[in-house]
Structure 1
Amino acid sequence: MIDARCSCGALSLSLPGPSRLVVACHCLDCQRRTGAPFGVGVFYPADAVTISGTPQQYVRTAASGGKVRNYFCPDCGSTVYWQADNLPGMIGVAIGAIADPDFPPPIRSVFEQSKHGWVEMSGAEHFQQGSVAKRSR
C-alpha cells in the first residue's frame, strides 16, 4: 500500500500500489491548482482507494465541458485528489501528495498547447488537448 496525504496529515488516501497511469497536465487550471507550470497525477479505480479525513471540495468546469471535483484539506489547503466527469470511476491523486521521488514518471503529457516552453517531458506521449489530438514532434 502507498499513502498520499496533505501537508498537515488531516486528509489521507491509502492506495493499492504504484500505477502506470501517471499524467502530466499543462492546462491553465492545473497550473493554477498547483501553483506550478503543470500538475502531475496518478489515476486509480475509486473503489481501490481508501480516504481518511474530511476534504473540502471545489468544482470547476473542465475544457471538455465536464466537471472536475478537486478535494483539498480544509486545514492546510493541500489538494490531494480529484475526480473528473470524463474519467468516471477513477480518482486522480496528486503525485506530490505521495511524496516518493522514485514514483513512476508520467506516461502522458496533455494540454501541451499551454506548456511552458522550458518544460521538457521525455519518455511520455505528447498531446495538445487532453488525450484527443496527438502532438507532432
Structure 2
Amino acid sequence: MSTGSCWCGNLKYEFEGDSKHVILCHCLTCQKISGTTNTANIPVPRDKLKVTGSPKSHTEKHEDGFDLTKFFCGDCGTTIYKQATADMFAPVSLVQAGTLDGPAKDKVSQPVAELNVRIRQPWLTEVGAAAQKQGFD
C-alpha cells in the first residue's frame, strides 16, 4: 500500500498498486499546474485511490481539448492528483509523485516515459531509457 499527503497533512491518500510507474509530462497545462517544467505522474486505477479529507477541485480545458481536473488541498494548495476525460486517462487518477510519503517515496523509480517532449524545455535532457513521446500517444 502506498500512501501520501499534501504539504500541511490535511489531505491523505492511499492506493493499492505500484508506485514505481512514473510518467513525466511536459505539456503546457502540467507546467501551469506544477509551476515548473513538468509533472511526475503515477497512474493509479481510480477505484484503487482512497482519499481522506475533502480535496477541492478545479477543471479546465487542456490545450489538447479534453477536460482536466486537478484535486488539491484547500489549505496549502498542494495538487494531489489529476483526472482527465481523454480516453487514455479515463480509467486512472494521476497521483503526483512528489506527494508520496515514507517508504513509497523512496521507491519511486526513474520515469518510464516522457510525454509532450516536443515542448520540453530545451535545457532539459531526456531521461535515460524513458520512452520519448511527442504528445500523449
User: What is the aligned-residue RMSD (CA, Å)?
Assistant: 1.4
Q: Percent identity?
A: 27
SS of 1:24's equivalent in the other structure is strand
Residue matched to 2:115 = 110
Aligned partners of 1:63, 1:113: CA distance in 2, in Å? 14
The answer on whether the counterparts of 1:18 and 1:103 sit within 8 Å (CA) in structure 2 is no
Aligned partners of 1:77, 1:30: CA distance in 2, in Å? 15
The answer on whether the counterparts of 1:26 and 1:109 sit within 8 Å (CA) in structure 2 is yes
Q: Counterparts of 1:40-51 in structure 2 under 5 Å?
A: 40-51=40-51
Deviation at 1:54, TM superposition (A): 0.5
Higher mean Cα deviation, 58-67 or 42-51? Answer: 58-67
Higher mean Cα deviation, 73-82 or 115-124? Answer: 115-124
Aligned partners of 2:120, 2:136: CA distance in 1, in Å? 12
Moved over 4 A (4+): none
Structure 2 residue aligned with 1:119, among 124, 127, 134? 124
Please report the TM-score for the alignment, with normalisation by the length of structure 2.
Answer: 0.89
Deviation at 1:20, TM superposition (A): 4.9
Higher mean Cα deviation, 37-46 or 15-24? Answer: 15-24
Please report the TM-score for the alignment, with normalisation by the length of structure 1.
Answer: 0.89
Aligned residues: 131
Structure 1 residue aligned with 2:135, among 117, 129, 132? 129
Deviation at 1:9, TM superposition (A): 0.8
